Amino acid sequence: MSQTTTAPVADLFDRRDKVVMGTYGRPAVTLTRGEGTRVWDADGNEYVDLLAGIAVSVLGHGHPAIGAAVAAQVSRLCHTSNLYVNEPQVLLAERLVALLGTDARIFFGNSGAEANECAIKISRKTGRKEIIATDGSFHGRTMGALSITGQPGKRTPFEPLLPGARFVPYGDVAALKEAISERTAAVFLEPTLGEAGVIPPPPDYLAAARALCDETGALLVLDEIQSGIGRTGAWFAHQHEGVLPDVVTLAKGLAGGLPIGACIGIGAAGSLLGPGEHGSTFGGGPVVCAAALAVLDTIESEGLLASATRVGARLAAGIQAAADAGVPGIAGVQGTGLWLGIELSTTTPGAFEAAARTAGFLVNGIAPDRVRLAPPLVLTEADADAFLAALPGIAAAARQAA
């Protein structure tokens, strides 16, 4: 009979290597439990989680609201497929539409890549075939989503991919204007480049993209898979800019750790796909939708949008102060809310990540000169201050190791 056992850490790593595909390399630690902003590994070491499962665990670990919602729904009805209506799905769709503040329709899947696949299919229903995306972008690893991901290292091994994708420099309005035309089905943009290291665009970039799409009839698709659900201090990052896209894609933080994706078609874009043109057996299931509703309720009731803004600003200011003070290896910081990229100078992201872990903090070395922070929205000022106090030592240890 299959069961979970407590095994020696080294043994568990070796066993994993034999049965799990090597797509992630070998992880550094084995995490066994979490509570709030803390996680513990199999050796009993405690860490402040400043990554949240890559912007996923927005309520931290073990939040009772998610546990209660999931337990109640599992005991009532676990799965229905989309041949039948389930109430949590309808409630979640209604809630997301209300948060957007406009007419929209939603397709639920199980991941961010699936949400973007749905958005690609919506763009094809315009009758046009060309998609414009940006250098450095990341939209997923399925074949369609990979086709519009502007990172050659991820794309090249799997070519030929979906035809019709064009790439322009991120943040370059002139390049976008030159590329877009009446042949363009959609422009796919991240409000801030996430996997490239949390790199924001110049001011008014999204507004310029909106205007160009309006001029040419192309759809503006905003990939909010990392930036959505409070990460930047607003429900959706584009709300900071006052720009309304045609399609928004969501995933990561929406269900606080359970797998979900959502493709939101706004206005006419919400009606382009018809019966039989898309589907998902598990998408929008009652359990994950119940979890997502609990996440949205908790973000609202605990004031986590304002907290993300306040604590994120404190964290960013402290990192920038370290850079301004000449802490070796720290060049600056970019980002919004609790979504920040630490710019490095004389050290490597891998060395910084390892040094932070030794100091009791989980971060993510994401680009050649960047480390990503995407902590739970429940991160406290005390958590932020603890990291800032440790930052000079982390940077010193990273430089020594590099």
Asked whether residue 188 is assigned to any structural domain, the reply reads yes
Q: Which of 279, 302, 325 is the last residue of a domain?
A: 302
* pLDDT of 188 over the 80 cut: yes
The residue among 383 and 26 whose pLDDT is bigger is: 383
HEC string of 59-114? CCECCHHHHHHHHHHHHHCCCCCCCCCCHHHHHHHHHHHHHHCCCEEEEEECCHHH
* pLDDT of 299 over the 80 cut: yes
In the chain, the percentage of residues whose pLDDT exceeds 90 is 95
**Domain limits at 31?**
9-62+303-401
Q: 157 and 105 share a domain?
A: yes
* pLDDT of 11 over the 90 cut: no
Q: 267 and 165 share a domain?
A: yes
Query: In which element (H, E) is residue 286 found?
Result: helix 286-301
- Catalogue the E-assigned strands of 120-276: 130-134, 165-168, 184-189, 219-223, 247-250, 261-266
What's the pLDDT at 26?
A: 87
Q: 375 and 237 share a domain?
A: no
- Catalogue the E-assigned strands of 190-329: 219-223, 247-250, 261-266
Burial class (CB in 10 A: 0-12, 13-18, 19+), 235: buried
Is 138 flagged in the annotation as binding? yes
CB 334 within 8 A of CB 193: no
Nearest to 128 by CA among 239, 219, 2: 219
Task: Give the mean pLDDT of 297-316.
Answer: 98
* pLDDT of 3 over the 60 cut: no
- Of the residues 252, 352, 383, 387, only one is catalytic, namely 252
**Please, how many CA atoms are within 13 Å of residue 8, restricted to the half-sphere of its CB?**
3
- Of the residues 223, 246, 361, 383, only one is catalytic, namely 223
pLDDT tens for 320-360 read 999 999 999 999 999 999 999 999 999 999 999 999 999 99
- CATH code, domain carrying 125: 3.40.640.10
Per the annotation, the verdict on 252 as an active-site residue is: yes
The overall average pLDDT reported for the chain is 96
Is 224 flagged in the annotation as binding? yes
Say how far residue 93 (Cα) sits from the centre of its chain: 19
- CATH code, domain carrying 355: 3.90.1150.10
Q: Which range is least confidently modeled, 3-12, 208-217, 233-242, 250-259?
A: 3-12
Asked whether residue 385 is assigned to any structural domain, the reply reads yes
Asked whether residue 1 is assigned to any structural domain, the reply reads no
Q: 100 and 222 share a domain?
A: yes
Asked whether residue 33 is assigned to any structural domain, the reply reads yes
- Of the residues 107, 108, 138, 387, only one is catalytic, namely 138
Is 141 flagged in the annotation as binding? yes
* pLDDT of 48 over the 50 cut: yes
Q: 286 and 347 share a domain?
A: no
* pLDDT of 37 over the 50 cut: yes
Q: 308 and 298 share a domain?
A: no
Per the annotation, the verdict on 223 as an active-site residue is: yes
Q: 231 and 84 share a domain?
A: yes
Query: In which element (H, E) is residue 39 found?
Result: strand 38-41
| AA identity, residue 43 | D
Is 216 flagged in the annotation as binding? no
Asked whether residue 142 is assigned to any structural domain, the reply reads yes
pTM of the model: 0.96
Asked whether residue 72 is assigned to any structural domain, the reply reads no
Nearest to 368 by CA among 351, 381, 355: 351
pLDDT tens for 78-126 read 999 999 999 999 999 999 999 999 999 999 999 999 999 999 999 999 9
pLDDT tens for 190-209 read 999 999 999 999 999 999 99
Asked whether residue 294 is assigned to any structural domain, the reply reads yes
Query: In which element (H, E) is residue 362 found?
Result: strand 361-362
Q: 311 and 327 share a domain?
A: yes
What's the pLDDT at 8?
A: 66
Task: Give the mean pLDDT of 209-230.
Answer: 98
Q: 13 and 26 share a domain?
A: yes
Q: 280 and 133 share a domain?
A: yes
Q: Which of 286, 302, 318 is the last residue of a domain?
A: 302
**How many CB atoms neighbour CB 144 within 10 A?**
22
Is 117 flagged in the annotation as binding? no
Asked whether residue 229 is assigned to any structural domain, the reply reads yes
The Cα 157–Cα 169 span in angstroms is 22
Band (1; pLDDT cuts 50, 70, 90): very low
Q: 238 and 172 share a domain?
A: yes
pLDDT tens for 58-74 read 999 999 999 999 999 99
Total of domains in the chain: 2
The Cα 125–Cα 147 span in angstroms is 18
Is 307 flagged in the annotation as binding? no
Q: Which of 253, 281, 302 is the last residue of a domain?
A: 302
Is 13 flagged in the annotation as binding? no
pLDDT tens for 240-253 read 999 999 999 999 99
What's the pLDDT at 112?
A: 98
Q: 342 and 388 share a domain?
A: yes
CB 51 within 8 A of CB 373: yes
